[in-house]
């Protein structure tokens, strides 16, 4: 990556900014389109479809959600792309061991090759077919993860049964032990698709991210729901790692010696990138509405939790210019600086620095808003 950065800057300094900008754009487009395919399988009624929906930030019944039901609703491998990161797709796979999908031919029939990893879901303990599938996946050199679903229901039932004698940790330990029978030493993740922030979903996301190759890791991290303050910080770091490329791209555009045109193009780029930040942090209107509904918190309470100037607004050219103009000190670049980016005499380094500073400021604003919204949604008192 350092070699690419050096090469691009050298191209720009030899008065070929358009070529440098094209090279960076191609790189960024490639990063955004890296495919990640996760296969979700398990027996009928295990909660596969609800899990697929929850991971994608959707409720059952939302437009684009995987259909759910008390009987097997999946008869073919069905792709469900993430609504905001369509390169990341979750595949709802038919249950293993059915007449159409016998265990010995299952991987061949669902198209094993296209999946980066598999999640095997069960609402009870894992059965013989589940362990057979895991062994086949492992032999073919790919990762699999056991997920025990509907933990919220089981915890609720145990609480009603034992009342004052109920101990949640003991209950979870018992569920984990029962679920693990027959799966050897493989870790079992306890998950509630209704309350993703509870139990092991955060750990599952961290494990998936850690196990993936670096280029796929970035794609998954941006698509993971905000289930902890740590995840939000990781998203910020992931987005921050690309800021230098946008800054260099902006500088390549700004090197065009047409005063005013470069300012317009720089702001357009800023609008595009900051809009991406807003969506990734779940601060766009549709994501906030989904969160308010699932967390049973008034939408206005979530909106009121946001404090940055970007809060509750559509990211537009006028808004970005307004914030640039109002900035002081090192918070972001001023309008004067932005205009001057269009004057080649100031040089490429100044253009890169100015855009870098602006994007870092906007990213921090939205990351802090995301933390506040998450805290409000969960009814926590943790200050941000």
pLDDT tens, residue by residue, 108-128: 888 888 999 999 998 887 888
Task: Indicate the DSSP class of residue 379.
Answer: T
| Cα–Cα dist 227/212, whole Å | 19
Specify the 3-state DSSP secondary structure of 37.
strand
> What is d(CA 167, CA 165) in angstroms, rounded to the nearest whole number?
6
Q: What is the mean pLDDT of the chain?
A: 80
Span 160-174, pLDDT tens digits = 888 888 888 888 888
pLDDT tens digits along 178-193: 777 666 657 889 999 8
Give me the count of residues in the chain.
384
pLDDT interval class at 12 (50, 70, 90): low
23-66 pLDDT tens trace: 778 888 888 889 999 999 887 778 888 899 989 988 888 888 88
* Average pLDDT rounded to a whole number, residues 8-18: 63
Q: What percent of the chain has pLDDT over 90?
A: 23
Which three-class secondary structure state does DSSP give residue 90?
Answer: strand
Whether domain 35-225 has CATH 3.10.129.10: the reply is: no
DSSP state of 158: H
| Residue the block writes with tokens 């807003």 | 278
Specify the pLDDT at position 81: 95
| Comma-separated ranges of CATH 3.40.50.300 domains in the chain | 35-225
Residue 252 falls in which region: left (phi positive, over 0), alpha (psi -120 to 50) or beta: alpha
Q: Which residue has the tokens 């003991």?
A: 170
Q: Is the pLDDT of residue 86 over 90?
A: yes
Return the pLDDT at 69.
64
The DSSP string of 319-366 is HHHHHHHH--TTSS--HHHHHHTT-GGG-HHHHHHHHHHHHHHHHHHH
| Among candidate residues 208, 212, 219, 271, the one with its CA nearest the CA of residue 31 | 219
Q: Where are the alpha helices (DSSP H) in the chain?
A: 2-13, 17-32, 48-55, 106-110, 128-139, 151-162, 168-180, 201-211, 214-223, 229-240, 243-254, 261-280, 285-295, 299-305, 317-326, 335-340, 348-377
- Token readout for 58 is 């959707």
Distance between CA atoms of residues 363 and 382, nearest Å = 21
């Amino acid at each position: 990556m350092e070699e690419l950065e050096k090469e691009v800057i050298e191209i720009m300094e030899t008065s070929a900014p358009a070529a440098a900008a094209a090279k960076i754009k191609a790189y960024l487009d490639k990063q955004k389109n890296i495919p990640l395919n996760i296969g979700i399988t398990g027996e009928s009624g295990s909660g596969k479809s609800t899990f697929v929906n929850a991971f994608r930030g959707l409720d059952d019944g939302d437009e684009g959600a995987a259909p759910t039901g008390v009987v097997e609703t999946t008869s073919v491998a069905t792709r469900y792309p993430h609504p905001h990161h369509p390169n990341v797709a979750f595949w709802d796979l038919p249950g293993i061991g059915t007449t159409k999908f016998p265990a010995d031919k299952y991987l061949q029939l669902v198209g094993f090759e296209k999946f980066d990893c598999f999640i095997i879901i069960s609402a009870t303990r894992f059965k013989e077919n589940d362990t057979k599938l895991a062994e086949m996946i492992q032999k073919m050199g790919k990762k699999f993860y056991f997920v025990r679903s509907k933990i919220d229901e089981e915890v609720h039932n145990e609480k009603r049964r034992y009342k004052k004698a109920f101990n949640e940790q003991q209950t979870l330990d018992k569920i984990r032990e029962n679920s693990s029978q027959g799966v050897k030493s493989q870790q079992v993740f306890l998950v509630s698709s209704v309350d993703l922030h509870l139990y092991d979903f955060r750990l599952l996301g961290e494990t998936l991210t850690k196990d993936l190759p670096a280029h796929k890791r970035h794609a998954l991290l941006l698509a993971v729901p905000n289930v902890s303050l740590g995840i939000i910080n990781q998203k910020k770091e992931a987005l921050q790692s690309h800021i230098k490329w946008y800054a260099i791209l902006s500088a390549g555009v700004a090197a065009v010696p047409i005063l005013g045109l470069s300012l317009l193009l720089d702001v357009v780029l800023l609008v595009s990138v900051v809009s991406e930040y807003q969506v990734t942090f779940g601060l766009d209107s549709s994501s906030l509405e989904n969160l308010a509904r699932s967390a049973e918190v008034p939408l206005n309470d979530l909106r009121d939790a946001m404090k940055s100037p970007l809060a509750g607004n559509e990211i537009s050219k006028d808004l970005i210019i307004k914030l640039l103009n109002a900035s002081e000190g090192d918070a972001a670049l001023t309008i004067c600086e932005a205009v001057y980016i269009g004057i080649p005499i100031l040089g490429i380094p100044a253009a890169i620095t100015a855009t870098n500073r602006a994007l870092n400021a906007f990213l921090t604003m939205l990351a802090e808003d995301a933390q506040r919204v998450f805290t409000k949604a969960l009814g926590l008192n943790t200050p941000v």
